[in-house]
């Protein structure tokens, strides 16, 4: 049995949550190993001077997070495969914290769902959508994908477009179509968190590649020389890129950066997957990789961040040789994306509701960005007025995991750099802050002020006048 006693003297908020948070932090730090037995609940309650019920709640919360596993008659152990439920996944009835972690991009400004459903109900031939359709989707819906891809700088061919259940599903079926189990795929050193689990689930290896440094001190595009080196050393077969508003750094690649990466991809015969869920927020249209290297690029588009995450509709555009494979992978995974919600989205695109929502959200985001930039100074916030999140650089001595936990106790959620890195790496001194998930301007401002104040508390120099020991 491990005589583990969490340090919760300075914790704020419910004690049971502080115990669960401390348990998670010690597992991540390696202080607790898989299979370690935790103290009996009564013993821990005695050690901490709290009630048995509080410890019972703490262990239950830890088990809910999949950190521990209780065994009748044997006790509670650190779970063999400790894995916390992702903070990106919404939970029904969760506490009303100030959400600066999930990138929901102003859902309160989405088009009216009720109006869209009324319009659909009046559509001639609507009943046909209540049956099976081809796995790639109906032609009318694939043509909607063509319109969406125009915002991405890509003149798509409807015969090479397929409708998916959102961008995440699009990534899954595209990786299945383009790669074989065991293949290595290059990713940015900081990248979209779900790509790691998606690749691993398909038997693919993620190879992180460092970024170029921008003149302002921020992070730029993937370093093409480093990509070439990874292709040679790790036998990389493809590369996953987010050319516009890269998640989490917000960097948008210049034409020169795009062309340099295309040159490497052609020289090493790499397939390219470009995923750009935030592109529609940008007013400047730059050429997509699907336009620069159409023979080797699969492009993924989604309107979830723009107007309707509940519809779960996305689009993929792939080189012609992979068309049949994409159709098969969609069919094998879910048969088809819902033609009902695809019709809802198609109507919004045709009627201009998508464009209207973008205009409103861009205005709101411009205000939020300026608020964030001013409050968080002098800390460097890599972002922009059309970027719906920011990548905040922390002082080198501030642990992003500890900062995230401290803010969580204040009912503020952000994401540590750890979520955007491959496992086993020390978290880099950054956190990601989203601008549009919190509806209240006042709460958004309050959260930013608390973030700055908490960073300052972490950065305070030690009091050398106090005795040690």
Q: Are residues 231 and 300 in the same domain?
A: yes
Q: Tell me if residue 389 falls in helix, strand or coil.
A: strand
Q: What is the pLDDT of residue 462?
A: 45
Q: How far apart are CA 433 and CA 389, in angstroms?
A: 6
Q: Are residues 162 and 222 in the same domain?
A: yes
Within a 10 A sphere around the Cβ of 101, how many other Cβ atoms?
Answer: 24
Q: Which of 84-93, 297-306, 418-427 has the lowest mean pLDDT?
A: 84-93
Q: Which of 60-74, 273-287, 395-409, 438-452 has the lowest mean pLDDT?
A: 60-74
For 165-212, how does the pLDDT look when each residue is reduced to its tens digit (9 = 90+)? 999 999 999 999 999 999 999 999 999 988 988 998 899 999 999 999
Q: What is the pLDDT of residue 463?
A: 43
Task: Examine residue 40 and state whether it is found in any structural domain, yes or no.
Answer: yes
Q: Are residues 327 and 197 in the same domain?
A: yes
Task: Examine residue 83 and state whether it is found in any structural domain, yes or no.
Answer: no
Q: How far apart are CA 219 and CA 216, in angstroms?
A: 9
Domain boundary among the residues 333, 351, 369 is at: 351
Q: Are residues 390 and 407 in the same domain?
A: yes
Q: Are residues 345 and 360 in the same domain?
A: no
Q: Are residues 206 and 156 in the same domain?
A: yes
Q: How confident is the model at residue 464 (pLDDT cuts 50, 70, 90)?
A: very low
| Beta-ladder partners of 275 | 300
**Angle between helices 339-351 and 139-150 in degrees, nearest 10:** 50
Q: Are residues 284 and 390 in the same domain?
A: no
Q: What is the pLDDT of residue 142?
A: 97
Task: Examine residue 20 and state whether it is found in any structural domain, yes or no.
Answer: yes
Q: What is the pLDDT of residue 31?
A: 80
Q: How confident is the model at residue 82 (pLDDT cuts 50, 70, 90)?
A: very low
Alpha-carbon 136 to chain mean position: 26
Task: Examine residue 7 and state whether it is found in any structural domain, yes or no.
Answer: no
Share of the chain above pLDDT 90, in %: 65
Q: What is the pLDDT of residue 453?
A: 94
Q: Which stretches of 314-365 are assigned E, i.e. beta strand? A: 314-317
Which CATH number is 29's domain given?
Answer: 1.10.10.10
What's the rounded mean pLDDT across residues 156-167? 96
Q: Which residue has the higher pLDDT, 351 or 461?
A: 351
Domain boundary among the residues 329, 351, 373 is at: 351
Above 70 in pLDDT, residue 119?
yes
Above 50 in pLDDT, residue 468?
no
What rounded mean pLDDT belongs to the chain?
A: 90
Within a 10 A sphere around the Cβ of 147, how many other Cβ atoms?
Answer: 14
If one counts the domains in the chain, the total is 3
Task: Examine residue 4 and state whether it is found in any structural domain, yes or no.
Answer: no
Alpha-carbon 206 to chain mean position: 16
User: By C-alpha distance, which of 122, 183, 17, 99 is closest to 443?
Assistant: 99
Domain range enclosing 371: 98-103+355-459
Q: Are residues 327 and 367 in the same domain?
A: no
Which CATH number is 364's domain given?
Answer: 3.90.1150.10
For 292-337, how does the pLDDT look when each residue is reduced to its tens digit (9 = 90+)? 999 999 999 988 888 888 889 999 999 999 999 999 999 999 999 9
Q: Are residues 129 and 153 in the same domain?
A: yes
User: By C-alpha distance, which of 188, 198, 163, 171 is closest to 336?
Assistant: 163
Task: Examine residue 292 and state whether it is found in any structural domain, yes or no.
Answer: yes
- Name the phi and psi angles at 151, rounded to 5: -65, -15
């Amino acid at each position: 049995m491990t005589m583990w006693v969490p340090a919760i003297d300075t914790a704020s908020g419910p004690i049971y949550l502080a115990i669960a948070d401390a348990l998670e932090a010690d597992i991540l730090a390696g202080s607790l190993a898989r299979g370690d037995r935790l103290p009996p609940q009564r013993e821990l309650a005695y050690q901490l001077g709290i009630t048995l019920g509080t410890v019972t709640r703490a262990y239950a919360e830890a088990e809910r997070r999949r950190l521990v596993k209780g065994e009748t008659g044997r006790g509670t152990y650190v779970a063999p495969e400790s894995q916390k439920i992702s903070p990106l996944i919404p939970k029904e009835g969760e506490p009303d914290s100030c959400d600066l972690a999930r990138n929901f991009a102003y859902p309160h400004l989405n088009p009216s769902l009720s109006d869209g459903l009324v319009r659909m109900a009046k559509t001639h031939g609507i009943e046909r959508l209540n049956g099976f359709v081809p796995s790639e989707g109906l032609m009318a819906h694939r043509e909607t994908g063509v319109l969406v891809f125009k915002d991405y700088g890509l003149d798509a061919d409807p015969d090479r477009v397929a409708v998916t259940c959102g961008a995440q599903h699009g990534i899954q079926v595209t990786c299945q179509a383009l790669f074989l189990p065991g293949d290595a795929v290059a990713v940015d050193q900081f990248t979209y968190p779900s790509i790691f689990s998606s690749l691993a689930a398909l038997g693919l290896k993620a190879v992180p590649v460092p970024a170029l440094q921008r003149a302002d001190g921020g992070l730029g595009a993937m370093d093409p020389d480093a990509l070439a080196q990874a292709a040679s050393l790790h036998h990389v077969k493809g590369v996953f890129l987010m050319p516009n508003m890269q998640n989490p750094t917000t960097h948008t690649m210049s034409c020169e950066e795009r062309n340099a990466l295309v040159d490497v991809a052609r020289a090493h015969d790499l397939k390219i997957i470009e995923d750009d869920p935030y592109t529609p927020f940008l007013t400047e249209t730059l050429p997509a990789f699907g336009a620069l290297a159409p023979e080797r690029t699969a492009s993924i588009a989604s309107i979830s961040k723009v107007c309707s995450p509940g519809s779960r509709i996305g689009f993929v555009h792939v080189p012609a040789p992979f068309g049949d494979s994409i159709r098969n992978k969609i069919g094998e995974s879910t048969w088809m994306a819902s033609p009902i919600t695809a019709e809802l989205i198609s109507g919004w695109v045709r009627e201009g509701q998508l464009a209207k929502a973008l205009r409103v959200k861009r205005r709101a985001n411009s205000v939020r960005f300026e608020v964030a930039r001013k409050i968080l100074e002098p800390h460097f916030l890599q972002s922009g007025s059309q970027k719906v999140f920011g990548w905040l650089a922390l002082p080198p001595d501030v642990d992003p995991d500890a900062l995230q936990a401290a803010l969580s106790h204040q009912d503020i959620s952000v994401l540590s750099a750890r979520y955007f890195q491959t496992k086993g790496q020390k978290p880099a001194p950054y956190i990601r802050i989203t601008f549009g998930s919190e509806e209240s301007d006042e709460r958004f401002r309050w959260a930013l002020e608390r973030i700055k104040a908490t960073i300052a508390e972490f950065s305070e120099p030690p009091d050398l006048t106090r005795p040690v020991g």
